[in-house]
Structure 1
Amino acid sequence: MIERTPELMDERLNHAPCGYISLTHEGTIADVNQTFLDKMKYTRADLLDKHMESLMSTANKLIFHSYFFPFINLNGHVDELFLSLKDASGQSVPYLLSGKIFQNDSLELTDCILLPMGKRIEYEQELRSAKKQIEQAYWEKDQALAKLEQIHREIEQKQAELIQMNTILVELSTTDKLTGLKNRRYFQEKLEEQIALFHKTLQPFSLCILDIDHFKKVNDTYGHQTGDQVLEQLARILKAHARSEDIAARYGGEEFVLILPGTDGPESRSIAEHLRQIVAESSWITGSLTVSVGIATYTAEETDATILKKADQALYTSKLNGRNRVTHIVEIPE
């Protein structure tokens, strides 16, 4: 553990107009300024000696591993790395991270400045520029050419993977193009946030999966264009009748999901039943249409995977029992 002295964090740096984190060579947090703590609603004890990756989602951990550590160990610094860090409530906060290695005879730390997010394309351009500089540096270091060429190949592969990932992230939006609802990626992020909020406040929430009954028959009978119109109309119904705090998304194909914050089992079933009735009573281009619904309410023993699995199991039961019905997982005998 790093011995902390006043020299590591003076008063001006502690209240600087940007976040500051000091990392050990292994990536654990050696020190952090008050500006970052206030922004992210942590205490100093929450973060000290924790690994930096404890603040990141899986995707950001991959970026941190594949770019930050190799680059800073090779060059001694990193400029404008885009990351999203989780605050104390589990919300994602975007940052641009710039870091530099500080080293003396007895100490090696990586000092990181955290600034508000810049344009993603600027980060990609900086990455390409850094790659050219590294390549030029390799050619200038003739005595270590063989070893550096091997490092170059490894880093270039990681950079290519990171650029590809970054391009995908830039192109992806949070909205499903066909229906105008939020997409699966956005739903997954919000589900993780609801789970984090639950473990902090014990506020309940429920998850519904809605599936259009006999949707394959719609496509086979009327064509995929009509099928798309059906999906669009169902999305409009969900938008119009979901509560303002609910999160509606297209999960894939003819499946839709609803996160119902602050909602226990009986209330979630009432909401789902209301939506099912609206769908069944609406006018459709196909003449009639129904949905089946499965529900699960989050408990302390759940994970994002298990609550999805339970809601899907409840949906399957609704289908098995004749469709056009709502089933909560607690209704299924063990």
Structure 2
Amino acid sequence: MDKRLHSLPCGYISMTPQGIILDVNRTFLEMGNYTQDNLISHHIESIMSVANKLLFHSCFYPFIQLNGYVDEIYLNLKGSNGTDIPVLFNGKYYEETDVVDCIFVHMGRRIDYEQEIRKAKILVEEAYREKNVALVKMEELHLELEHKQIELLKLNNKLEILSITDGLTGLKNRRYFIEKLDEYLVQLKQTNCLFSLLILDIDHFKSVNDTHGHLIGDEVLIQLAKLLADFFPKDYTIARYGGEEFVVILPLRNEEESLKEAELLRSTIQFAKWEIMKITVSIGVATSNPMDTTSSIMAHADKALYSSKESGRNKVTHATFQII
């Protein structure tokens, strides 16, 4: 341990989140007349009274798990000769090392504080003696807290997935797509790794809804989404942009490669075995350049899509090439 850390004007302990002491500075040893053998690899609660163990359970473990830190916990530690050592205790958890660093400031003889601790000690020890009721209750609360933490993590994970998923098709949604597009543009400026963008639109989709109803229209969107997911590799970003428009980011694809891939997609959709009714799509393609922004590359691809529609639909147009 660093010499300055050893001689800090406060006690220092490094321990696991479960309370096993890993390291301790000289100031803390002197504070309680301890030796390293008394402390290293022992539980922090080994130098606490029953009352303080329960106080530690109720304050330290829940807060360190929920917040990653605890502030200003008043404790009485037991010195090696049995004397009470009133301390102010702060701790912080470091996830990368799975260690909690703790600081103990000796509070001296503070009459009011000691009186409150003694009262609390009497009350808690009485409860502890009554068939360990208080301890059992604390364990129950601790387990309940752990269960609720797990439920909260699951719920947060579910909400995160829902927030980036299109509810109808199961593809990623517009929000997720824009975030990924921003990431690709940043990467382009840093590494010069180009990519291409497809925007595809179902031809005459309004007539599908008007003629067959919105439920059939939804089924068409679901089937197209599945075709896109099956057609492209897993590392491609595929999303429903809105309505009958879908977008795809093609990593490391230049103008010719993206145009060829888009044309193969257009043909695959045209000649697919559709369960309800055949559809075709118009596709606009744009390839990135270092000057692009999210708005500019989207505008280029959208302009190419408009050109595909204007030239008769069921077409592919690249922003820099002729219609094929």
With structure 1 as the length reference, what TM-score do the two structures score?
0.49
- 1:332–1:114 Cα change, 3 Å: farther
Q: Paired residue for 1:203, among 193, 201, 216?
A: 193
Q: In the alignment, is residue 185 of structure 1 matched against residue 175 of structure 2? A: yes
CA distance in 1 between partners of 2:160 and 2:233 (Å): 30
CA contact (8 A) 1:184 1:252 kept: yes
Q: In the alignment, is residue 214 of structure 1 matched against residue 180 of structure 2? A: no
Structure 2: unaligned runs, 5 residues or longer: 5-13, 15-62, 72-91, 97-155
SS at match of 2:199: strand
| Offset at residue 249 of structure 1 (A) | 0.6
1:322: which partner in 2?
A: 312
1:174: which partner in 2?
A: 164
Q: In the alignment, is residue 289 of structure 1 matched against residue 269 of structure 2? A: no
Matches within 5 A, 1:1-334: 172-331=162-321
Percent of aligned pairs sharing the same letter: 48
Aligned residues: 184
CA distance in 2 between partners of 1:185 and 1:302 (Å): 19
CA distance in 2 between partners of 1:262 and 1:313 (Å): 22
Structure 1: unaligned runs, 5 residues or longer: 1-6, 8-15, 17-78, 81-95, 101-111, 117-165
CA distance in 1 between partners of 2:215 and 2:320 (Å): 38
CA distance in 2 between partners of 1:325 and 1:283 (Å): 19
- In structure 2, give the amino acid aligned to 1:289: I
SS at match of 2:241: strand
- 1:285–1:170 Cα change, 3 Å: closer
- In structure 1, give the amino acid aligned to 2:209: N
- In structure 2, give the amino acid aligned to 1:328: H
- 1:170–1:180 Cα change, 3 Å: closer
- In structure 1, give the amino acid aligned to 2:285: I
- 1:270–1:197 Cα change, 3 Å: same
1:60: which partner in 2?
A: none
| Offset at residue 331 of structure 1 (A) | 2.1
Pairwise CA RMSD: 3.3
CA distance in 1 between partners of 2:236 and 2:302 (Å): 19
- 1:322–1:173 Cα change, 3 Å: same
The structure that has the greater radius of gyration is 2
CA distance in 2 between partners of 1:113 and 1:202 (Å): 39
- 1:170–1:287 Cα change, 3 Å: closer
2:109: which partner in 1?
A: none
CA contact (8 A) 1:226 1:285 kept: no
| Offset at residue 171 of structure 1 (A) | 8.3
CA distance in 1 between partners of 2:211 and 2:172 (Å): 28
TM superposition outliers: structure 1 runs of 4+ over 3 Å: 112-116, 169-172
SS at match of 2:198: strand
| Offset at residue 287 of structure 1 (A) | 3.2
- In structure 2, give the amino acid aligned to 1:177: G
CA contact (8 A) 1:218 1:286 kept: no
